[in-house]
Amino acid sequence: GAAAAEVFESGATGYAYNDIILLPGHVYFAADDVRLDSRVSRSIPLKTPLVSSPMDTVTESAMAIHMALQGGLGFVHYNNTVREQKKEVDRVKRYESGFITDPKTLAPHHTIADARDIKARYGFQGIPVTEDGRMGSRLLGIVSNRDIEFIRDPQVRLGDVMTRELVTAREGVTLEEAYAIVKESKKGKLPIVNGRGELVGLVARTDILKSRDFPNSTKDKVGKRLLCGAAIGTRPEDRDRLDALVEVGVDAIVLDSSQGDSTYQLDMLRYIKNRHAHLDVICGNVVTRSQAYHLIRAGADGLRIGMGCGSICTTQEVMACGRPQATAVYMVSQLAREHGVPTIADGGVSSIGHIIKGLSCGASCVMMGSMLAGTDEAPGEYFYKDGVRLKKYRGMGSMEAMKQGSAVRYFSEDDRVRVAQGVSGAVIDKGSLRRYLPYLIQGVKHGFQDLGVLSLQELHQRLYEGRLRFQVRTPAGQMEGSVHSLYTYERSAV
């Protein structure tokens, strides 16, 4: 095999993931021993080097929550109003808090229909009922699913059906004490009250179970809240969007542009760094060292790599610009590493092998669109076509998405005629991320095991020391390496 430098630095040829293959190393440990710890940006560590793309058919709150729970990160898209995007980020930030300090509450005069409405909208069960329906007023009871599930009439008042005998904890209780009471009482919710019996907080049983189920989750240091990213554009009005997202505690901002080396992006980056110094800003997209250098010099905390390699992208065909992804990831990541800036290999991933190749070419983590768009947690409803269960997936530069507002990613301010740089389509149902992400993570660990590397740090060390060996596959080599010579009689085998 050859070292990465020999393969990628020839200049004249660019390689896609499928063009290259890695030579195996020596296996002396179990796949479970592999550690995938990485960073998505300067100050955000991840246990899982996977992030979801800010696309309107990929990342809203449900996706971002589950990516973060399993050690990755989600970037909420901005093909929506400022209010809508803020609400999605807010949902992620509120998702797993030890103490819920602003629970939804109702009053005794509210009805079963009101309680069901809260459950449908927020998924909460067990709603505290207070004297005037607000936090800080006297706690009278709790209405849970068991109180109302067999009652047909939605107009029955909660005061008539709620549970009045409550187990509560006094203000000042520690989280550990509260958890112990919850376990002991076997109740779903533990209201926290002050000396006057007024509701000041709530602890949820599901939060305890969640932190047990997801030991790798991506959380902040203090409040145990999940981390959440979001994308914005580089127009003047995006400054208001930024402020709204900061208000609800967004942790990282992606400046979303198909060609990131622009005055617009540099100006926006400097503006954010001046205004919100604590916030990590991920710039891009880039595919060359010089593009990357301009952004790194201006203070980028992370770089997103990829131009036209996405499954729904037509940028390379329409704009004649871009770069095959394996070469792009290697060239940019090598420079970024010298400056301590993590990189995201964005797009072009359609198998576990592509994730491993992206990381092997130097990326700190991998961003996916199509791989995640068919999961339960992606926005949109499933539908059937020819007996196959599908979900919609579309490029943010597709005519369809642009009509809804995403044109900012693909056009400068004075463009009058729009040329699409993406298409709309559908992807096959993949079920829930609860099962799908562990499958991807385990697959990546197996790949590392075959390479004989125990961690991402070791992988990158070998890469830059020339000890990770690559080969370029001929077309016959690629054919040989994929499924062939089979008579395919089942759709699932195609």
Q: Which residues are annotated as a binding site?
A: 256-258, 306-308, 310-311, 313, 346-348, 369-370, 393-397, 421, 477
Decide if 282 contacts 303 (C-beta within 8 A): yes
Distance from C-alpha of 306 to C-alpha of 284, rounded to nearest angstrom: 8
Q: How far is the CB of 443 from ligand XMP (least distance, A)?
A: 16
Q: How far is the CB of 50 from ligand XMP (least distance, A)?
A: 11
Instruction: Tokens for 45, please give them.
Output: 């560590």
How many residues of this chain interact with ligand XMP, rule: CB under 6 A?
26
Q: Which of 144, 234, 398, 449 binds ligand XMP (CB under 6 A)?
A: 398
When asked if residue 105 is in the footprint of ligand XMP (CB under 6 A), the reply is no
Whichever of 126 and 322 has its CB closer to ligand XMP, that residue is 322
When asked if residue 395 is in the footprint of ligand XMP (CB under 6 A), the reply is yes
Distance from C-alpha of 143 to C-alpha of 173, rounded to nearest angstrom: 23
Whichever of 133 and 353 has its CB closer to ligand XMP, that residue is 353
Decide if 129 contacts 105 (C-beta within 8 A): yes
Q: How far is the CB of 194 from ligand XMP (least distance, A)?
A: 48
Site for ligand XMP in 304-323 (CB under 6 A): 306, 308, 310-313, 315
Question: CA angle, corner 394, sides to 393 and 400, nearest 5?
Answer: 135
Residues belonging to the chain: 494
Q: Binding-site residues for IMP, please?
A: 311, 346-348, 369-370, 393-397, 421
From the list 217, 220, 224, the residue with the least C-alpha distance to 203 is: 224
Whichever of 420 and 453 has its CB closer to ligand XMP, that residue is 420
Distance from C-alpha of 283 to C-alpha of 303, rounded to nearest angstrom: 5
When asked if residue 334 is in the footprint of ligand XMP (CB under 6 A), the reply is no
Distance from C-alpha of 218 to C-alpha of 215, rounded to nearest angstrom: 9
When asked if residue 421 is in the footprint of ligand XMP (CB under 6 A), the reply is yes
Whichever of 178 and 371 has its CB closer to ligand XMP, that residue is 371
Q: Which stretch binds ligand XMP (CB under 6 A): 43-51, 270-278, 287-295, 393-401?
A: 393-401
Q: Binding-site residues for NAD(+), please?
A: 256-258, 306-308
Site for ligand XMP in 343-362 (CB under 6 A): 346-349
Site for ligand XMP in 357-386 (CB under 6 A): 367-371
- The residues, any chain, with a CB within 8 Å of residue 149's CB and separated by 6 or more, are none
Q: How far is the CB of 74 from ligand XMP (least distance, A)?
A: 12
- Phi, psi values for residue 463, rounded to 5°: -55, -50
Q: To which H or E segment does residue 332 belong?
A: helix 325-338
Residue with tokens 């009652």: 151
Q: How far is the CB of 400 from ligand XMP (least distance, A)?
A: 10
Whichever of 169 and 255 has its CB closer to ligand XMP, that residue is 255
Question: CA angle, corner 347, sides to 23 and 19, nearest 5?
Answer: 35
Whichever of 296 and 313 has its CB closer to ligand XMP, that residue is 313
When asked if residue 97 is in the footprint of ligand XMP (CB under 6 A), the reply is no
Q: How far is the CB of 330 from ligand XMP (least distance, A)?
A: 18
Q: Are strands 280-286 and 302-305 parallel, antiparallel or unpaired?
A: parallel
Catalytic, out of 313, 323, 462, 469: 313
Amino acid at 219: K
* C-alpha dist (Å) from residue 287 to 252, 334, 350, 359: 21, 12, 19, 15
Q: Which stretch binds ligand XMP (CB under 6 A): 63-71, 113-121, 138-146, 392-400?
A: 392-400
When asked if residue 402 is in the footprint of ligand XMP (CB under 6 A), the reply is no
Burial class (CB in 10 A: 0-12, 13-18, 19+), 348: buried
Site for ligand XMP in 45-64 (CB under 6 A): 53, 55
What residues pair up with 302 in beta bridges, in sequence order? 282
CA atoms within 13 A on the CB side of 254: 31
Whichever of 74 and 308 has its CB closer to ligand XMP, that residue is 308
Whichever of 357 and 469 has its CB closer to ligand XMP, that residue is 357
- CA 449 from centroid of its chain's CA atoms: 26
Instruction: Tokens for 219, please give them.
Output: 């959380």
When asked if residue 397 is in the footprint of ligand XMP (CB under 6 A), the reply is yes
Q: Are strands 343-346 and 302-305 parallel, antiparallel or unpaired?
A: parallel
Catalytic residue list contains 409: yes
When asked if residue 422 is in the footprint of ligand XMP (CB under 6 A), the reply is yes
Catalytic amino acids? 313, 409
Residues forming contacts to ligand XMP in the complex (CB under 6 A) are: 53, 55, 258, 285, 306, 308, 310-313, 315, 346-349, 367-371, 395-398, 421-422
